[in-house]
């Protein structure tokens, strides 16, 4: 089991979202401050005092510095918060006209955006007190202009537009949006962690299984082969056996001669060293030097070693040629060859050659014919291994999509809140209250129509919605007295972007910004035509700083979000790669120690004796015994993981607990069946095994056109009945012999199953 405490990647995406939000807050606040300060400095006679001019100059200078450095240091952020409080409390420095409190001003813009940026950058336990402090400072500034009685009076609170929305609307909505993004990121992080745990378990299991197969192949190619030669009394000089035994000891001790699995290696030199152990003359052609990564090189050299072993043992060849090219190694002999279709290929070809290259992400083919020699060709692909469960681009897009959908829905909700807040004020201030409410309803429908677009569904109402909103903007301005233009009564100045933003979040940011600016410029030009003058220009510039700049940042949110998620995914990949490699290495080390301990008892001492050149009758006898034990060891390890064997194992274990002696024989080339096919094949065998008393012999055999599962046991009366079989059910044959029963279940296979299997390796 994997411990969650070991997981190195929980909350990575959330941390990246927080980091990007803090970056955005720094840029947004200081961009708004810079634009508002410059706009005020460009307006003649604004502010009225030299202190105000100095204050605006300092604000412009500091915000410019912050935009250049973008530091997230505590000191810089405290200075930012300090100047926001100072500006909010120092309203008279920027203007003493009470009308500024009811239209627009530098303090309103900076304080309002500061509440939003606090909610973006910090959790509620920090942003809420900060928003309260900013609101209190703004109230102090307002009191210096109109007096505390007007500020705390209910009617005046309604007239001062920043007080209530600053805390009750802007902070609440922004906080909800940010918390939503963080919650989604946290859930995705947790899901990634869970998926990664499962993937890592599978990767460890696969790595251990591959290591097991590789270990079996190595034992087959080295100790089993050497001991078989000695045990069968082959005419080989003690010196050659000694050299081969020393090589076997080095390889089995996980110390490949000249090949480190983590370091590049020259496979030509390694193949040349292996050729020295061959009894058949070997000629090496092609490249005199070829550097490959250690993992690939180890596999190729091991395949060449087994091809040489097979040629020595079976080919009766007079010459072997090994050709090394940039992408392949070919081992050819002029021996007797074999028929790859009719010959049962053993562990040497199936696992030591074909299986080994498959595990190394390469391929191997064995071509032969009777009397035509044998050619083994190895190809490889040096592929970078992926990290188990690592997030992909699709994963990043999915996280972005989930946050973006919720963000868009939040904007729609914010639009409704904004309309509910400011449309009644416009209706009370206008000569056409019913028309104002009607136009507000149309704007609400525009916002509502953006929900399918936010969710990526049909219908796409973007064009009709933009046209309708343009009509609302024009008619609403025409119904207002010119004196109210640019103030709170002209509610489309604040609400238009919220209504159309849901339609713009899924298009390219540059096009979305163009649409947003077109609406804003159209409204600004219309206002300027109705009320030309520097005051209108100033008011519009402050709206640009306080509203349009914020909206542009909202449009950039999908890009910033995807960047944050991509960064998080990259960080996760790096962390997972290191942690996965460590975990897999530990598992392989434990597996290696466990397997090596089985060899130390008999194989290692015998190889050590052979490595000294000692070879007598006792050593040959011991070699023969160990060779047989190794062949059984390899067979059991190779077949134990096959699904058919795995499915049978519980029934075998139950019989063993009852004292039944169970033996199992299985062919090397068992086909892969699906779960239901395995159930139909094994069910009669398992039900018969349940009734066995003393012994049971089980066999799994592949013959042309059939896979046969059979059992012979002492059964007083089997419940299994003969069946002719059809396309859905296997044929069952039942034979009773004295006190024993013989059940054979015949599962049909494609006629060319064996041919296809050998074609893969032939």
Lowest mean pLDDT among 163-167, 436-440, 730-734: 163-167
Q: What confidence tier does 157 reach under pLDDT thresholds 50, 70, 90?
A: very low
> Per-residue pLDDT for 633 more than 80?
no
> Per-residue pLDDT for 559 more than 60?
yes
DSSP 370: T
> Per-residue pLDDT for 509 more than 80?
no
CA dihedral 632, 298, 760, 588 (to 10 degrees): 50
pLDDT computed for residue 6 by the predictor: 42
Rounded Cα distance, 152 and 147, in Å: 9
pLDDT computed for residue 158 by the predictor: 43
> Per-residue pLDDT for 722 more than 50?
yes
Please write the tens of the pLDDT for every residue from 96-128: 777 666 666 788 888 888 888 888 888 888 989
Distance of CA 53 to the CA centre of its chain: 54
647: number of Cβ within 10 Å: 18
pLDDT computed for residue 103 by the predictor: 63
User: CB neighbours of 274 closer than 8 A, spacing ≥ 6?
Assistant: 301, 304, 305, 308
pLDDT computed for residue 332 by the predictor: 92
Report the pLDDT averaged over residues 236-259. 73
- Strand 363-368 to 374-379 pairing: antiparallel
Residue 45 DSSP SS3: coil
Please write the tens of the pLDDT for every residue from 287-303: 999 888 877 888 888 88
Phi, psi (5° rounding) for residue 379?
A: -120, 155
Residue with tokens 């001003």: 105
Picking from 262, 239, 260, the residue whose alpha carbon sits closest to that of residue 250 is: 260
Under 8 Å between Cβ of 216 and 638: yes
Please write the tens of the pLDDT for every residue from 644-665: 888 888 888 788 788 887 877 7
> Per-residue pLDDT for 437 more than 70?
yes
Q: What is the DSSP string of 50-62?
A: HHHHHHHHHHHHH
pLDDT computed for residue 468 by the predictor: 92
pLDDT computed for residue 3 by the predictor: 40
Please write the tens of the pLDDT for every residue from 388-414: 444 444 444 565 676 677 777 878 887
pLDDT computed for residue 62 by the predictor: 92
Q: What is the CA radius of gyration of the chain?
A: 40
pLDDT > 90: percent of the chain: 9
Residues in a beta bridge with 736 = 741
pLDDT computed for residue 500 by the predictor: 84
Greatest mean pLDDT among 12-16, 44-48, 519-523, 556-560: 519-523
More confident site: 394 or 83 = 83
Phi, psi (5° rounding) for residue 288?
A: -90, -10
Report the pLDDT averaged over residues 479-493. 77
Strand order in the sheet with 374-379: 282-286, 320-324, 328-333, 374-379, 363-368
Rounded Cα distance, 587 and 546, in Å: 58
Report the pLDDT averaged over residues 429-446. 88
Please write the tens of the pLDDT for every residue from 195-204: 667 667 777 7
Report residue 636 as tokens. 């059991």
Report the pLDDT averaged over residues 252-277. 72
More confident site: 133 or 342 = 133
Report residue 573 as tokens. 């990949």
Please write the tens of the pLDDT for every residue from 584-595: 777 766 766 666
> Per-residue pLDDT for 81 more than 80?
yes
Please write the tens of the pLDDT for every residue from 36-73: 888 778 776 666 678 888 888 898 899 999 989 888 88
Report residue 236 as tokens. 């080989």
Greatest mean pLDDT among 127-136, 227-236, 352-361: 127-136
pLDDT computed for residue 556 by the predictor: 66
> Per-residue pLDDT for 255 more than 60?
no
Q: How far is CA 683 from CA 241, 382, 651, 692, in A?
A: 49, 44, 10, 15
Greatest mean pLDDT among 645-654, 680-689, 694-703: 680-689
Rounded Cα distance, 613 and 239, in Å: 6
More confident site: 753 or 678 = 678
Q: What is the DSSP string of 661-711?
A: EEEEEE-TTPPP--HHHHHHHHHHHHHHHTT-SSEEEEEEEEETTEEEEEE
Please write the tens of the pLDDT for every residue from 170-196: 777 777 777 777 776 677 677 667 766
User: CB neighbours of 4 closer than 8 A, spacing ≥ 6?
Assistant: 10, 193, 197
pLDDT computed for residue 732 by the predictor: 92
Report residue 146 as tokens. 């109109």
pLDDT computed for residue 165 by the predictor: 52
Lowest mean pLDDT among 159-163, 188-192, 468-472, 488-492: 159-163
Report residue 129 as tokens. 């007190």
Q: What is the mean pLDDT of the chain?
A: 77
Picking from 567, 185, 197, 191, the residue whose alpha carbon sits closest to that of residue 388 is: 197
Picking from 589, 593, 578, the residue whose alpha carbon sits closest to that of residue 6 is: 578
Picking from 357, 341, 247, the residue whose alpha carbon sits closest to that of residue 304 is: 357
> Per-residue pLDDT for 153 more than 70?
no
pLDDT computed for residue 344 by the predictor: 47
Picking from 413, 391, 400, the residue whose alpha carbon sits closest to that of residue 557 is: 400
Rounded Cα distance, 81 and 132, in Å: 12
Using a 10 angstrom Cβ sphere, with 0-12 exposed, 13-18 middle and 19 or more buried, the burial of residue 106 is buried
Query: What secondary structure, in 3-state letters, does 166-201 show?
Result: HHHHHHHHHHHHHHHHHHHHHHHHHHHHHHHHHHHH
Strand order in the sheet with 740-748: 661-666, 695-703, 706-714, 740-748, 731-737
């Amino acid at each position: 089991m994997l411990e969650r405490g070991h997981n190195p990647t929980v909350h990575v995406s959330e941390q990246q979202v927080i980091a990007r939000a803090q970056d955005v807050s720094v840029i947004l606040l200081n961009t708004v401050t810079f634009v508002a300060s410059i706009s005020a400095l460009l307006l003649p006679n604004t502010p009225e005092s030299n202190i105000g001019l100095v204050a605006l100059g300092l604000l412009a200078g500091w915000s410019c510095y912050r935009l250049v450095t973008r530091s997230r240091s505590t000191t810089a952020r405290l200075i930012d918060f300090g100047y926001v409080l100072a500006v909010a409390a120092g309203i008279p420095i920027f203007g003493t006209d009470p009308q500024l409190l009811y239209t627009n001003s530098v303090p309103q813009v900076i304080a309002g955006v500061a509440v939003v940026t606090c909610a973006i950058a910090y959790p509620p336990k920090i942003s809420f007190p900060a928003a309260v402090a900013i609101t209190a400072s703004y109230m102090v500034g307002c009191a210096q202009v109109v007096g505390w009685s007007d500020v705390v009076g209910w009617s005046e609170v309604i007239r001062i537009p920043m007080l209530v929305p600053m805390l009750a609307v802007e902070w609440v909505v922004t906080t909800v949006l940010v918390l939503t993004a963080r919650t989604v990121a946290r859930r995705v992080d947790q899901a990634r962690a869970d998926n990664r745990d499962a993937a890592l378990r599978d990767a460890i299991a696969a790595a251990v299984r591959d290591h097991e197969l590789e270990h079996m192949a190595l034992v087959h190619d080295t100790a089993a082969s050497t001991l078989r030669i000695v045990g069968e009394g082959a005419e080989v000089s003690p010196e050659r056996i000694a050299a081969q035994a020393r090589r076997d000891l080095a390889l089995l001790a996980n110390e490949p001669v000249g090949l480190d699995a983590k370091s590049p290696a020259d496979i030509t030199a390694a193949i040349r060293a292996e050729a020295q152990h061959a009894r058949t003359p070997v000629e090496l052609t092609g490249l005199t030097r070829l550097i490959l990564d250690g993992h690939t090189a180890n596999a190729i050299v091991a395949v060449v070693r087994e091809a040489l072993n097979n040629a020595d043992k079976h080919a009766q060849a007079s010459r072997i040629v090994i050709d090394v090219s940039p992408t392949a190694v070919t081992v050819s002999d002029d021996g007797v060859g074999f028929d790859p279709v009719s010959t049962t290929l053993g562990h040497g070809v199936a696992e030591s050659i074909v299986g080994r290259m498959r595990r190394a992400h390469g391929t191997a083919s064995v071509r032969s014919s009777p009397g035509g020699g044998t050619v083994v060709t190895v190809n490889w692909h040096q592929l970078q291994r992926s990290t188990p469960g690592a997030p992909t681009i699709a994963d990043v897009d999915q996280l972005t999509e989930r946050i973006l959908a919720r963000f868009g829905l939040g904007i729609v909700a914010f639009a409704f809140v904004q309309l509910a807040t400011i449309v009644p004020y416009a209706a009370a201030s206008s000569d056409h209250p019913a028309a104002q409410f009607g136009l507000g309803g149309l704007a609400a429908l525009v916002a509502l129509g953006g929900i399918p677009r936010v969710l990526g569904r049909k219908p796409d109402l973007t064009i009709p919605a933009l046209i309708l909103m343009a009509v609302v903007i024009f008619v609403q301005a025409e119904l207002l007295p010119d004196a109210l233009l640019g103030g709170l009564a002209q509610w489309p100045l604040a609400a238009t972007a919220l209504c159309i933003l849901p339609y713009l979040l899924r298009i390219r940011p540059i096009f979305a910004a163009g649409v947003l600016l077109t609406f804003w410029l159209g409204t600004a030009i219309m206002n300027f035509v109705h009320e030309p003058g520097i005051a209108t220009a100033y008011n519009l510039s402050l709206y640009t700083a306080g509203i349009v700049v914020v909206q542009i940042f909202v449009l950039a949110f999908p890009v910033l979000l995807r960047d944050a998620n991509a960064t998080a995914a990259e960080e996760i990949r790096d962390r997972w790669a290191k942690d996965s490699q460590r975990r897999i290495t530990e598992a392989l080390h434990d597996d290696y120690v466990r397997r090596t301990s089985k060899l130390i008892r008999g194989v290692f001492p015998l190889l050590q004796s052979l490595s000294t050149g000692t070879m007598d009758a006792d050593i040959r006898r011991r070699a023969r015994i160990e060779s047989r034990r190794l062949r059984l060891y390899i067979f059991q390890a190779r077949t134990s993981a096959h699904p058919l064997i795995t499915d049978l194992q519980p029934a075998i274990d139950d019989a063993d607990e009852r004292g039944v002696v169970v033996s199992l024989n299985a062919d090397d080339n068992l086909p892969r069946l699906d779960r239901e096919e395995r159930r139909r094949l094994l069910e009669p065998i398992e039900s018969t095994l349940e009734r066995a008393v003393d012994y049971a012999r089980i066999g799994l055999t592949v013959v042309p056109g059939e896979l046969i599962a059979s059992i012979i046991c002492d059964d007083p009366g089997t419940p299994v009945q003969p069946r002719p079989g059809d396309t859905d059910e296997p044929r069952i044959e039942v034979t009773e012999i004295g006190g024993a029963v013989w059940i054979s279940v015949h599962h049909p296979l494609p006629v060319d199953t064996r041919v296809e299997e050998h074609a893969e390796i032939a």
